[in-house]
A and B are shown apart, each in its own frame.
Chain A
Amino acid sequence: MRFRAADARTRAIRTLAIGTALLLAALAAGLMMEATFQDGVQTLDILRGLLMFVTTGWLAWGAMLAVAGLWPMKAAARPRFDPTTGRTVVLVPICNEDPVATFARVAAIDASIAQAGVTADVAILSDTRDDMAALREREAFARLLAVTGGQGRIFYRRREVNTGRKAGNIEEFIRRSGAAYDYAVILDADSLIEGETVRAMIARMQADPNLGLLQTLPRILAARSFLGRALQFSAAFHSPVFTRGLARMQGATGPFWGHNAIVRVTAFAESCGLPALTGRPPFGGHILSHDYVEAALLARAGWTVTVDPTLDGSYEEGPENVLSYAKRDRRWCQGNLQHTRLLFAPGFRGWSRFVFLQGILAYVVSALWALFLVVSVLATIFAPEPNYFPDRYQLFPVFPDDRTREITALFLGIVGLLILPKLAIVAEAVMTGRARGFGGAARTARSVLAEVALTSLLAPVMMVYQTRAILQVLSGQDGGWPANARAEGRIALVAAVRAALWVSATGAGVLAAVWHFAPDLVLWLLPVGLPMLAAPVLIAVTSRPYEGGLFAVPDRADPPAVFTAYLAVLDGWAASASAGADAETGGASDVAA
C-alpha cells in the first residue's frame, strides 16, 4: 500500500508550529545568554543557554498545539453504517484488575452496543498472574455471561505466559482469532464507550478502506479526589483543543494511545508484530510503550492512522492521587525513553519519528529543568568577580549592567507560554458557548485558574519524580509494567510523608545549598523549593474527596448513558454479593432474553 503524504495545508501548519516554537526557543536562549555573558563567556553559561533552548522549545511546542487547536473543527463526515458487512470484536485486555468493576463495564458496553444496532463480540484477554485473582475473574465472567446471555459471543481467556505484556496479549488474540474479525475496538480495563460511538467508528472503517486505526479522545469519568477532579476538568476542557491542534498536524500519521480506538485487524496483523529489541531492559527487550510504535508501524505500511477529537462517547478513568500519577509516569517514562532506540528505525515516516521525540522530551524536559536550576546555581557560585577597571588607564570604574530586567522578562515569557494558551482556551470556550457545560464563563475561568495553581504547585514535585524515573532508567533499572492502581483514593498524611519524605528532603537540601552558596538566588528558587518541601501535604490534601464547585464538567451534570448503566450493574452486583444472592438460581435467562 502506498503511503499518502500529508497535504500542503497540514505541512504548512506543521512548519509554522515547529518554526514558531524553535524561534521562541532561540529568543529565550538568546536572552538568557545575553544576560549571562556580560561577565564573560563561561561553559556553564553556554550550557544554560542550550538548556533554555530545549526546555522553552518544549513549552512553546505545547503552546503551538493549543493555538493550532483553538478554532473549532468541523466534525468528520459520518458515513452510513452497514450492519451486513464487517465483523467486530471489542478487546478488553486486563491484568490484575478488579474483576467486578471491569466486567460490569463490559456488561454496560455490551448492552450499549446492542442498543446501537451493532453486533459485536467481546473478548476479555486476561494476563492476570495471581491464581486467586484469576478465579475471581472466572466467577465474575460467569456472572457476566449469565446476565448478558453472552455465551458464544463474549469470551474470556487467560494466558499462561504473558509474553510482551499488553501488546503481546492482543497479538496472541490476533494470532489465534484474528481471521474471524474485520475490526477490533481496543479498550482498557477502565474504558467505557457508547455503542453509538462504536457504530460511528465501524462506519468510518467501512467507508475508508485505507483507514488502519481510528483513535478517539477519551474523557475522564468517576473522578472523586481534588486531583482527580482537576485532571478530569483538564481532560474535558483543555484536551479537545490540544488534540484538535494535533489532529490538524497529523496527516495520515496520527497517534495511538493504546485504548479507546478501533483498528482494522488485517492492517494491524500485517504491520504490528512487535519484535523484542536487542539487549536487556530498560532499553532492550519487549517494547513497553507499544501504542506509539504500532501507530508508526501502521503508517510505515501505508495505512492511515488518525485521531478524531470530534468523536464523542469515549471514556476512561484517571489517577486519583499524585502517587498513582507518579507510578503511571514511571512506566510511561521508561517506555518513552525506550523509543530512543527507534528514532532512526528503518522506514518510519518523519512525523512518526517526531512523535517519538515528543514522547521522549515529555520526560527528559523535566530532568533538563532540574539540570537548568543546578547549572544556574553553579554558574552563580563560580561567576568571576566583576572587573571594574577593564582598561589599564581608566579613571572611573565600569559597573556591570543590571540584567534583572531581561531575566524577569524571560521568566514572565516562560510563565506566559504556560498560562496564555489556557487563557486562550477559556476565551475560545466562552465565544463558542462551550463554557456553559463547565458552569459558565466565570466558573470556568475560576476552574482554569485553580487548575493552573495546582499544576504550578505540583510541577516541582513531578519534576523530582520524573527526574528520578529518568535516572533509574538510565542506570538500567527496569520498572517493569506493574498493574494500574485504579480506584486508589485518599492518602493519609502519614502515608504521604512516608512516600514523599525524600522529595521534601531533596527540596530542603536544594534550598539549604542555595542559601549557603548563592543566597541571591533563594528568592528565585522558592517557587520550586517550597512545593518540594510541602510535597507530603500536597499529596495528602489533593487526594481528598472533593465535591466543591470548581472543576465542573458536562459529564458530571449529565452522566453518559453507558456510565449510568455501568454504575447500575455495579451496584446490583455488589448488593447481590452482599446479600448472598450468588447462591440463588434462575432468572438469568429471563434477563438475558
Chain B
Amino acid sequence: MTDLSKTAFDRAVAVAQTDWLPPEAPLAMPRQVLERPEHGTLMSLLARLLMPVKRV
C-alpha cells in the first residue's frame, strides 16, 4: 500500500484549487407523506357526508 502518511504538500497550491464540489447531476427526491391529512380520513369524510357543517 502507498504510504500516505509521510507526504508533505503545498497547502497554498492545494487550497487554491477550487474544484472540490461533487458533480452536478441532479436527482429528484420527492417529499414522502408520513402524516394523514386531518380531513382526508375515511371517518371524517363520512362525518362530513352525514353532517355537512360549514366551518365558521
Contacts and interface: CB of A to CB of B under 8 A. Distances in A.
A239 B30 CA distance: 35
A123 B25 CA distance: 14
B19 to A, nearest CB: 7
Contact of A142 (B11, B21, B25, B36): B11
Contacts of A582: 8-9, 11
Contacts of B49: none
A344 B49 CA distance: 25
A151 B17 contact: yes
A392 interface: no
B15 A142 contact: yes
A572 B6 contact: yes
A233 interface: no
Interface stretch (A53-61, A412-420, A489-497, A584-592): A584-592
A515 interface: no
Given A115-B1, A139-B15, A346-B36, A180 B23 contact: yes
Contact of A175 (B9, B23, B27, B34): B27
Nearest to A296: B34
A148 interface: yes
A273 B4 contact: no
Given A175-B27, A270-B30, A585-B10, A148 B22 contact: no
Given A107-B4, A586-B10, A587-B7, A273 B20 contact: no
Contact of B9 (A146, A272, A277): A146
Nearest to A342: B34
Contacts, number: 155
Contacts of A26: none
Contact of A179 (B7, B27, B31): B27
Interface string A563-593: 0010011111101100001101111100110
A138 B22 CA distance: 15
A591 B17 contact: no
B25 A584 contact: no
Contacts of A591: 2-4, 6-7
Interface stretch (A152-160, A427-435, A458-466): A152-160
B56 interface: no
B25 A273 contact: no
Contacts of B52: none
Contacts of B27: 174-175, 177-179, 265-266, 269
Given A275-B31, A345-B34, A177 B22 contact: yes
B14 A146 contact: yes
A541 interface: no
A177 B25 contact: yes
Interface of A: 89, 107-108, 111, 115, 121, 123, 138-139, 141-143, 145-148, 151-152, 155-157, 171, 173-181, 265-266, 269-275, 277-278, 293, 297, 341-342, 344-346, 565, 568-573, 575-576, 581-582, 584-588, 591-592
Interface of B: 1-11, 13-15, 17, 19-36
Nearest first, the 4 A-B pairs at minimum CB distance are A572-B5, A178-B27, A146-B9, A142-B14
